[in-house]
Structures are given as structure tokens and as C-alpha cells.
Structure 1
């Protein structure tokens, strides 16, 4: 807790008792107890507010599912690349449906890309410059 080990904590406790004194010690222990109760009350209030707004209990959430360390980008990409999206047409389907599905698959397999038009400046021509862009 806060990087303090047992003997250091006992030493701080003894120094605190000596500084505060025996007359004021009950008062400060009561203040500490009230502070702990208030923090617990606030934590329970936040828990209840989350439960009301989200609709689930925090204890019922599987937090391991949301841990970002479990996701390996290499595995995700590999699975996405190896995933087969093409579904075979069932044997009981009519021939026309199979022909349409085959034609659609062939059209999807080789989509035509539009030709890229590159406009080049003539030799010695200055590039366009926008004074408001800088």
C-alpha cells in the first residue's frame, strides 16, 4: 500500500500518535472513520448509479472479455485473411439459381478498376499555389 512496508507503517503510526497527542487522538480517529464511511458510501452510490444507467450489475460483467491485451492483431488479420466468405450453392437448388450465383461470384471476383487519370504539369509550368492555405 503506497510502497510502505510494515515497519515503516508502524513508525509512521507512532510518530502520528506523538504529534497528535493522546487528547486529540480519539477526535482524529473518529474523523478518519467518518472519512472511510463517506468514501464507501460514495463508491456504493456510484455503483448503484452505473447499475441504473447501464442496466447491469458490475459484478456480473466479464472484465476479461474487454481486456485489450488479449487481442493479437497478427491473429486477427490471419483469421480475417483465411476466412472463406464464399458459400457453396446447395445441391437441391435449381440450375438457374446456381448459374446466377456463379455469374455473381465471377463478377465479384474480378471487379474492374477505373483507370487512374494523372494530370502532369508542363515542363517549366509553376505548381498551383493557394495563399489562403498557408
Structure 2
């Protein structure tokens, strides 16, 4: 429940509560918060048990997509695409931008070498597929 709060933040919250509420009202506030959290947790587990009882075996069919969504929350977009759209084949990302017959060193026979500037009267290369 307090997974995102470290000990330092917890101590700061405790000191702030002590200053705001005072030492005489702090124990009552803590007991009220714990009682409220326990009641909310009981309501949630009761609702889950009621759903499980009413849905029966379909409850597991209902929970499976939610479990998959929780698994996807921790994945990167690249991993999600690889898993669901490409059936786990990540070679598309490894060969991104290469044509099927392209050499592995990155230079393609169909693309001109653009590392040197054009000469004064030289025309730039035109890609007829791009225009």
C-alpha cells in the first residue's frame, strides 16, 4: 500500500501530522485512518467475493484480460508491439530501415553516398519512389 513512500517521506508526514493535529489528537487520527482503511479493504474483498460467487467459473475468464493488462503496464511499447503484433519476432526492430537485399554494413547499392557534399554544378539525386 505504501510502496511509493520511503522512510524519509513517512517521517516527514508523521512530523507534519504531529504539528497539524498536535500530540493529543494524533493517536485518535491514526486509529480513525487505520479503521477506515480496514473498512475499505473489507468492502473491496466483499465485493470481489460477491462477484466471484455470482459469476462462478466465468470469473476466471473475466480476470484473465485484467491480469494481461497488468502485465502490459510494466512493458515498454517495443515489447508490447513485439509480443502482440509480431508474435514475439523482434527481427523487425533489428532490421529497421534495411531493404531485404541490403548489405549488413549499412550502405545500400540503391542509395547514393551522401557523406560528401555535392559539386558546384552537380544535381542532387532524386528518388522517384519518394516524389
| Shorter-chain TM-score range | 0.3 to 0.5
Larger radius of gyration: 1
More helix by share: 1
TM-score (norm 1): 0.42
**TM-score (normalised: structure 2):** 0.43
